[in-house]
């Protein structure tokens, strides 16, 4: 039993650090700052036919074509028109031991927070058929509850492969 508690504590230590926080609807999410490459304002996104509804398309970022997903749609939230606060967070994810750059559209970027170990909670257990692997844990800062994303696990392997394929096709 102590091994389980010790493992849980060491996992939480790994999660403490700086997080870029952003909003989707009424919820606040956090991304490990080391995964964030840059934040850009909304720009024209070229739709790619026959892709999942959450795949907004691709953008040309300084000569490199990168896929862009709408995180609202990926998380099953209602679609919402872009505003002046809507932006794209460019992140690096690991796909089959390769690094891939992609953009995620969020409602609004908030701030960078330094989340301490004492402010972290394990991801709560929901029903067994609910996948929460994409959550590192929950951060509690002042009165805010922040869902900390493991951006490498937000997409399934098949979804990552689809994005890689889209980016590769569009670059040619």
Predicted confidence (pLDDT) at residue 22 exceeds the cutoff of 50:
yes
86 within 8 A of 94, measured Cβ to Cβ: no
Task: List the structure tokens of 46.
Answer: 């070229």
Specify the pLDDT at position 128: 55
Structure tokens of 115? 């989340």
Tell me, which fold does domain 2-171 have in CATH? OB fold (Dihydrolipoamide Acetyltransferase, E2P) (2.40.50)
Give the Cα separation of 113 and 132 in Å (integer). 22
Name the pTM for this structure. Answer: 0.86
Give 134-143 pLDDT, tens digit per residue: 888 899 998 8
Tell me the two tokens of residue 161: 């492969």
- pLDDT score for 133: 76
DSSP 8-40: HHHHHHHH-EEEEEEEETTEEEEEEGGGEEEEE
What DSSP character marks residue 152? Answer: G
The H or E element spanning position 71 is helix 71-74
């Amino acid at each position: 039993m102590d091994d389980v508690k010790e493992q849980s504590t060491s996992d939480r230590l790994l999660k403490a650090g700086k997080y870029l926080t952003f909003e989707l609807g009424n919820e606040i999410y956090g991304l490990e700052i080391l995964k964030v490459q840059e934040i850009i304002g909304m720009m024209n996104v070229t739709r790619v036919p026959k892709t999942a509804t959450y795949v907004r398309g691709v953008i040309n970022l300084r000569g490199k074509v990168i896929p862009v997903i709408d995180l609202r749609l990926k998380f099953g939230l209602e679609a919402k028109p872009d505003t002046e606060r809507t932006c794209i967070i460019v992140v690096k994810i690991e796909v089959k031991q390769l690094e891939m750059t992609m953009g995620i559209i969020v409602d609004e970027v908030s701030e960078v927070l330094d989340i301490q170990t004492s402010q972290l909670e394990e991801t709560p257990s929901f029903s067994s058929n609910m996948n929460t692997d994409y959550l590192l844990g929950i951060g509690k800062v002042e009165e805010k509850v922040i869902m900390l994303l493991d951006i490498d696990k937000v997409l399934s392997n098949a979804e990552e492969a689809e994005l890689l394929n889209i980016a590769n096709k569009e670059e040619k």
